[in-house]
Chains A and B, each alone.
Chain A
């Protein structure tokens, strides 16, 4: 029955796709959006309108909460703000300076976070795999990393719900907890065909997807047109980002999204309760009152905001009395290996996320390291390909030669689960930004298990290309997907938030984004971040967790303009 209904099931309790306009891509209804005064004590003030913040806002609004979201970046309109061009898309990234250090520093910029309504998912690739059940207790299983205070089964209903909202397209999934997807798999391009054949020949199963890209019309979101610019923002509205999957419904249910507003401090009173957030908008410092606050600013900005929010009870930053804020930040090792074939593959066509394998996801003692990696097609556009060629050591005429050969290549990328380490951390640097806020410094160093994992993944991709009959290979080392930094746990001395995302010691302050993850698996994180936010939304609205026991002001606030 599910198979018959593929693509035709409408998500429950989220009309976003139907609220969009057929002829324009921008979110309709912004002129009618609810507006609150700074002096209104809203029920929940959310910082950051990305994967975590948008889903949380939509869930709470559906239950009648009065919600304001502060977003540092603009309220994007794909028609007038985005282009079908690689270099012309640099305004999508979080480009304010960050200092990167450690023995294996992580490049930021285009690769690591976005801003504006929709957050990093505006320019993410679109892979939407679930975490595996094993991801939640790797310490108990393998003696590495940490165990989560919640398990896969707590998130499973939310994975299913979010998969339907995005919606996710792909073949039936055999790995982790086997499951199906609401939309059928997309057709694949020549580059992915080669990768698929190579994996088969090497004895590795691949599957098409899972990608958060419509395959068929979904509400007023059109079908994908296979133009390949997913990492530059989808001008078609086919690729899921909160801008099209949750923001329209949130606005319809009374959320105010205050774009171009930079939160600089969470205010906590002497009784240890959070009272609201100080933010800057149009050069003016303002303070929004709130009954509760959720920080959803991404793995760098969430720790930075907590660290910058000092008060008498929290001299080293709110939630940081045990010196845990910013620690255990993780990135996935994301080496790429390209293979060359005689035919024209034209990897710029079709979305870069096409086929993937989780064959190596789980620990296998025989490999000599804990945990594993996944393999996916990545298909860079020309500038990305040039960086790949440069990293393999080519300059001048040699670089140009490989560039001219662009259409003959297919690129595989691995996502290696690197382990959480306490010294991999966000701190505040001495330098301040244009808001007079100390900028973030992020130190990162790999451990031996990390290096062994990356080396094995690279060898595996080499083997796949050899099995495919590739004539030449090129490789590049890189990272992807920051998570952690405000991890959840069962103990205030070793984590920042509890299993209900509440900052230890502050009953009405929550963190709800990728930073809460204690481990990262080797799945791309966005779906899991959204599922976590969906779960928190459910628990808050069902009052299984209350920001302020016994108190819910019901006086009507806010007005539709």
Chain B
């Protein structure tokens, strides 16, 4: 392998150390990112909306302008799952992408993914059971609910859930590892379909009808966001002693 130190911010290369602190990154100067940090601080994909076809523009801007109201989840379910989404997406400060609102809408109108594991209930029931399971696990740890549990407890429960570990009345109705997969499929789709997340990762967003003209290593279109640091951000982290 090449010089590993150069990619020192990448979790696989950090051994047992915790992930690098995202607040080390530059603050977003243009547009928004979730938590306002990112690698492309001067890039706002929304500067390009005039170049998008009308239909796509409507769909993408709809995510910003029409955040759906809560209709599917009950209030306790909503509270537990909001806290859970914050943990698995590391959304620990504002601005946050309201992922659960998009998921609520999908489940409310029954826009499901076209398959169900033989050892699992309908996705809509899976979501409700997960919400109950999170509260149950938090109560077993002495908290009133998942939402009100201390930060470390919430993180531990989410971690155990992702490892398929929890047992208990509710969890036993589910194949826990699969339930995590079902839930995360929607969580990730909601988060990474949001233009703020595209700003954070430097994704070009919708590209019709304009398309791309400059393919190739280190080539960008004039409007594509450059990384804030013209050195590899990875080694920069190290050079600036931020690890």
Contact = CB atoms under 8 A, between A and B. Distances in A.
Contacts of A405: 9-10, 39, 201
Contact of B22 (A80, A227, A401, A470): A401
Interface residues of B, number: 74
A94 interface: yes
A405 to B, nearest CB: 7
Contacts of B19: 396-398, 401
Contact of B1 (A84, A86, A471): A471
A560 to B, nearest CB: 31
Given A344-B220, A401-B9, A472-B12, A99 B116 contact: yes
Contact of A396 (B13, B88, B116, B213): B88
Most chain B CB within a 10 A radius of its CB, from A79, A107, A109, A396:
A396
A83 interface: yes
A228 to B, nearest CB: 7
Interface stretch (B50-58, B66-74, B75-83, B136-144): B50-58
A319 to B, nearest CB: 25
Contacts of B197: 382, 403
Contact of A400 (B22, B111, B184, B220): B22
A399 B187 CA distance: 12
Interface residues of A, number: 78
Main secondary structure of the interface of B (DSSP, over half): loop
Interface stretch (B126-134, B166-174, B204-212): B204-212
B148 interface: no
A1 to B, nearest CB: 31
Given A100-B117, A194-B217, A346-B224, A406 B2 contact: no
Interface in B106-135: 111-119
A82 B54 CA distance: 11
Nearest to B123: A97
Contacts of A97: 112, 114-116
Given A109-B115, A402-B10, 15 more contacts: A84-B56, A85-B193, A108-B113, A109-B114, A225-B211, A226-B212, A227-B210, A342-B7, A344-B217, A346-B220, A348-B203, A382-B193, A401-B11, A407-B202, A466-B1
28 contacts: A84-B52, A86-B192, A95-B112, A98-B114, A99-B115, A100-B116, A190-B216, A225-B209, A228-B207, A343-B218, A349-B212, A382-B203, A386-B188, A394-B11, A395-B162, A396-B90, A396-B158, A400-B89, A400-B90, A401-B19, A403-B200, A405-B9, A407-B203, A466-B1, A469-B1, A471-B7, A471-B10, A472-B7
